[in-house]
Structure 1
């Protein structure tokens, strides 16, 4: 499973192609599909994305009776209906569908934001506004790696 970290600003060309960060492509190389999976975010005016392996896992869960609550199944089905698979070209670029670019307000530049097992693609200014409020909450709450379970139990 790919791990998406860091933040990368990439320019779209005239054809709507944008380069996916090289380290991310390397992490996705083991997948059965040579590309990424994207859909409109339900949380923000952004595009959510992941590797094809996560889409396959979601499909397995949908096929397994009792694996999900009815609410989770409804959300998963709504998301599956919106999924776009974007294949890498020889230079590691994908074409962002116009509908998704318009939804997220992406025109000249796209900001790729790693969130661990998934990533988001933002219009840079929109992400700046979103991130500022998230960072302010973090400053107030002062979380640490230990608080989010990465360093073992609190002592």
Structure 2
């Protein structure tokens, strides 16, 4: 499971370290990985409304792909998912130094410059421009907290079936 948050520098070639705990999850999530090899994973970037890149292990991406391909052929839902997820994803691997090389196109999509912010999301993790995450997170939290009592305990959401 991907948990925690980390910030790393990005060099001019788009290389950035991957958090060590995330690298272990990427290794475990690549069924073909064995010690000494580079784990493979997928970066999904197709949703234009998302201001971040979403990273899947090889295993999680295969499951997602199978779910998409299980939809009826020719349906709008399947065509959208084929384009936004399958078509607009970047297969890659951890390099020999434990880094990720982000292509220019992906860096431009999220306006990534000198630093990358990584945040775990359970089955996936996200890569953000740190300032964008701070602004988006502050706005989201403010909206959420306006709807809740001052003594709100986030763990109470586990028993809430409203979604």
- Relative distance call for 1:153 and 1:132 in structure 2 (3 A) is closer
8 A Cα contact 2:18 2:100, kept in partner: yes
Which residue in 1 is equivalent to 2:43? 38
Which residue in 2 is equivalent to 1:53? 59
Question: Residue deviations 1:69-91, cap 9 Å, x none?
Answer: 93432332011101101211122
2:93 pairs with 1:77: no
TM-score by length of 2: 0.79
- Structure 2: tracts of 5 or more residues without a match: 33-38
More divergent stretch after superposition (36-45 vs 128-137): 36-45
> Aligned to 2:156, which of 129, 141, 146?
146
Number of aligned residues: 148
Which residue in 1 is equivalent to 2:137? 131
- Structure 1: tracts of 5 or more residues without a match: none
Cα deviation for residue 15 of structure 1 reads 2.2
Cα deviation for residue 46 of structure 1 reads 1.7
3-state SS of 1:36 partner: strand
Mapped partners of 1:111, 1:41: distance in 2:
19
3-state SS of 1:145 partner: helix
RMSD: 2.3
More divergent stretch after superposition (69-78 vs 126-135): 69-78
Mapped partners of 2:41, 2:147: distance in 1:
34
